[in-house]
Amino acid sequence: MAKRAKKENAAPKFEEALEQLQQIVGELEEGSGGLEHSLKRFEEGIGLLRTCYQTLEQAEQKIELLTAVDEQGNLTTAPFDATSTVEQKTRKSAKKKPADDEDGGSLF
């Protein structure tokens, strides 16, 4: 019986948590429940949302980026680095500059 209680208290899998969260959002959007029930469901939704975010964060840390193919044709990978990805995006957006329009927009 202790195993059953432990399993019930365990965090749901990502897909299950997301499905439950969608159900809660649907209920809250309908507004059919009373205030107390809605607050309780909202709290449950926040807990599920945290679970989803934690699961996504853990998955993100496991992602590996393809870096190259070695001489034998094997893929070489490197661990995912979220900070370098953000820095790369920042650098790319900083490089994009609007085109200089010296003649005021006329074609000729």
Chain segment 92-103, per-residue pLDDT in tens: 555 555 555 555
pTM above 0.95, yes or no: no
Strand (E) or helix (H) holding 64 = strand 64-69
Task: Note the pLDDT tens digit of each residue in 35-90.
Answer: 999 999 999 999 999 999 999 988 887 776 656 677 888 877 777 776 765 566 55
Is residue 21 within 8 A of residue 45, CB to CB? The reply is yes
Please tell me the distance from the alpha carbon of residue 38 to that of residue 61, in angstroms, as a whole number. Answer: 34
Distance CA 62, CA 18 (A): 20
Kindly give, in sequence order, each residue whose CB lies less than 8 Å from that of residue 75, ignoring residues fewer than 6 positions away: 66, 68, 69
